[in-house]
A and B are shown apart, each in its own frame.
Chain A
Amino acid sequence: MPFVSADAPPNPWFSWRYVQENADTLLAATLEHIVLTVSSVVGALLLALPLALLAYRVPATRAIIMGIGGLLYTVPALALMALLWPVFGLSKRSVVIALVLYALLIVIRNILAGLDDVPRDVVDAARGMGFGRRRLLVYVELPLAAPSIVAGLRVATVSTIGLVTIGALLGYGGLGNLVLSGFVANEYRAQIMTATILIVVLAVIADLLLVAVQRLVTPWAKEKAR
């Protein structure tokens, strides 16, 4: 036990014994945290893609889509969960839907920024080669927008990993459950701190993974990855 000295107070922040004795609980909470995060970010991407494409193709819809995204992003995440309560109650669905809606603006904005930055010449060249709209989108526009899209996913993922913790108030907060229950149980510091560290570690790993994805999908921009 490197962190606990013999005369340490009875409620230390760091306790290796806590980690050993509660490995199963920590693992289960971490897995729940990952599932909630992945569901939310994937959900946000699936919802954002068609909306961003609509805003890109039909400029008249752009202000409306960005306006609604901005509205959802401004409303506190906890309030979103509360407003979903009449429909979904205290459930995983309330947490995930609230986080999907919250992440939506970031993802849409980055998809749009990526599409807007596709050079006109490239689009014209592809058209000249006989590319139709769909082939243009799949083989030219989306690949060129990929760095911006992945950058958006990075921000959304790190922010979602933090916000999942709020789901603890509904009973579905992954590691946030341990933070909250540790607080309620006479401020059980080792549990609060261990869960918090795991959340930060998750965020860092997720970010690094997405950087790797970014390099993978844009092999031509190897040296420019942020």
Chain B
Amino acid sequence: MNDVEIMWQWLTDPAQWSGPNGIPVRVAEHLAISCTAFAIAAAIALPIGLVLGHRGKGGLLAVNVGNIGRAVPTFALLIIFASWDAVGVGTTAAILALVFFALPPLLTNTYTAMRGVDADARDAAVGMGLSGGQVLRRVEVPLAVGLMAAGIRTSFTQVVATATLAAIVGGGGLGRYVVDGFALQDPGPLLGGAVLVSLLTLAAEAVLAVGQRAVTPRAVS
């Protein structure tokens, strides 16, 4: 049997599709880790990005945080959290590392989207007597939402892809198969897991692409 046949046998083995280590459980874990991390990152980055973008200040900060954040490898961050007594090995370390992974691009992107709003539209709204908060809610956000959604889509997809690393520190998810497959040199879980996690990431991308189209005003897209 060649490696692809072994992979196919592994993927189609009913035993892989049930039980606490089964594929459905791993998919659920993978999505839970990704969604939790992304939700936390978005809850922090979006308001800050919106306010900085609205004020038009702190752009350098947003961009620099983005650049420095990119330089710290998620793999190392994950292991630092897992080796830190306050966190320890497991899913929490993975979620924390992913929050730090998702924060910088979300912040930079939200800020950039807000700054991309036509200055004339903003001035007109101010001239019409709208308050700062009203300008933000009624003018800037509706005009920036398309670009913001594009950034959210890329960011979330990257989080789902990177959540594969969670298994290195004993977190769950589909990375379990890949990491174990490498350790055991077993083509079944190694290739099967790689295919599954790739499909899950592509599916996440596809779903968010639909979402992005739905929230983007036609005039902006």
Contact = CB atoms under 8 A, between A and B. Distances in A.
Real binding pair: yes
Contacts of A115: none
Given A183-B82, A192-B80, A203 B71 contact: yes
Interface residues of B, number: 40
A74 B201 CA distance: 7
Contact of A74 (B82, B83, B181, B202): B202
B182 A170 contact: yes
Contacts of B164: 76, 78-79
A187 B83 contact: yes
A195 interface: yes
B181 A195 contact: no
A71 B202 contact: yes
A79 B74 CA distance: 16
Interface of B: 2-4, 67, 70-77, 79-80, 82-83, 157, 161-162, 164-165, 168-169, 175, 178-179, 181-182, 185, 187, 190-191, 193-195, 197-198, 201-202, 205
22 contacts: A74-B161, A75-B202, A82-B182, A85-B182, A86-B3, A86-B187, A86-B191, A90-B182, A158-B70, A162-B70, A162-B72, A165-B75, A168-B75, A169-B179, A170-B182, A176-B76, A180-B168, A192-B76, A192-B79, A196-B72, A196-B80, A207-B67
Given A79-B193, A82-B193, A86-B4, 7 more contacts: A75-B198, A75-B202, A82-B182, A83-B198, A179-B76, A187-B83, A207-B71
